């Protein structure tokens, strides 16, 4: 909330200084974490827009909830964004997607189940070193699901997203406290 207020006030007060100021302000508010071989874990100020990119090209789309770095690999968990939504009004699927990014080749493997994902991590020899925050993932998924269900337009978009776009992903993962 403080970031949004800062942006609004800054734009209103300093608008005459033009786009250069806006560019500098946005670059300050954009957070990133450097990964191997030029990859970056990006957050543009919104939890639903975390992604991984390289050379300004998105490699793993939103919303990447958590990552773990191990050797040349980046393993992660995400709630995929639904394509039937606007970028300013993103709806995330409540079906979980898992991924492994090889930072040497740029190849990303996606998995629809945690078991399949962990089997691959084990095959790569990085399972024991890969610690991901599944509790945060479940809390985010559950709170978004409740919010989306309270608004009919979001509920319809979520249903389409889950039943058409991401029908191959699992959603029967135990929630926190379950």
**pLDDT computed for residue 97 by the predictor:** 93
Residue with the bigger pLDDT between 58 and 163: it is 58
15: which residues sit within 8 A by CB, 6+ positions away?
Answer: none
Domain ranges in the chain are 1-30, 35-165
Per-chain mean pLDDT for the chain: 79
Residues 93 and 3: their CA atoms lie apart, in Å, by 26
Residue with the bigger pLDDT between 97 and 175: it is 97
8 Å CB contact between 171 and 162: yes
pLDDT of 5 > 60? The answer is no
Nearest to 95 by CA among 115, 114, 80: 80
pTM (2 d.p.): 0.74
Share of the chain above pLDDT 90, in %: 39
Instruction: Express each pLDDT in 47-100 by its tens digit.
Output: 777 889 999 899 998 889 999 999 999 999 999 888 766 666 778 888 899 999
């Amino acid at each position: 909330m403080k970031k949004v207020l800062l942006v609004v006030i800054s734009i209103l007060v300093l608008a005459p200084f033009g786009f250069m100021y806006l560019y500098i302000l946005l670059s300050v508010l954009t957070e990133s974490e450097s990964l191997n071989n030029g990859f970056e874990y990006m957050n543009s100020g919104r939890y639903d827009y975390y992604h991984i990119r390289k050379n300004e090209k998105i490699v793993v789309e939103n919303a990447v909830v958590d990552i773990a770095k191990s050797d040349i690999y980046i393993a992660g968990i995400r709630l995929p964004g639904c394509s039937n939504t606007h970028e300013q009004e993103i709806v995330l699927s409540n079906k979980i997607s898992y991924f492994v990014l090889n930072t040497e080749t740029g190849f990303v493997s996606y998995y629809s189940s945690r078991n399949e994902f962990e089997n691959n991590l084990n095959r790569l020899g990085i399972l024991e070193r890969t610690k991901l925050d599944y509790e945060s993932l479940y809390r985010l998924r559950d709170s978004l699901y409740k919010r989306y269900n309270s608004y009919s337009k979001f509920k319809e978009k979520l249903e389409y997203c889950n039943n058409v776009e991401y029908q191959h992903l699992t959603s029967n993962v135990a929630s926190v406290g379950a």
